[in-house]
Amino acid sequence: MTIPDTRYAAVEETEVAHPSVGTLVKEASDHLSTLVRSEVELAKTEVKAEVKKAATGSISLIVAGVLVLVALPFIFVTLAEVLILIGLPRWAGYACIVGFFFVLAALFGLIGLRKIKKIKKPERTVSSMKKNSEIARAFKKPEKAA
């Protein structure tokens, strides 16, 4: 039977280095800062891609709108010519189209006036501003008589 050599068995326990609370807080703060920066960078990247898509879509819509605006006079001339073909005199065909525009303009004008009349003054803001001015007056120092 052999006796084990105990000379090396009694290895000194090395102390496990426990960082201080300050170090832990600093590391947590650093990690949190890195996380926030990474999240902001991710958001920027995603938003940038979506803004490009929105810009491309907006440009396409603007081009479509311009093309429709260019085509509208031709459409209305065609409608006037159709009225002429039906049997109206040329002046009457064009007068009908012009009359249509006036009726349409009147309708949109009335709708706009109704909407504008429904606009209310910002009562909460006015009330808040009055209160703020009263408070400011209360704190205003009285001027000394000379």
Angle between helices 21-86 and 90-117 (to 10 degrees): 150
Cα radius of gyration (the chain): 40
pLDDT tens readout for residues 17-54: 788 888 888 888 888 888 888 888 888 888 888 888 88
Band of pLDDT at residue 6, cut at 50, 70 and 90:
low
Nearest partner of 29 among 40, 18, 21, 41, judged by Cα: 21
Band of pLDDT at residue 4, cut at 50, 70 and 90:
low
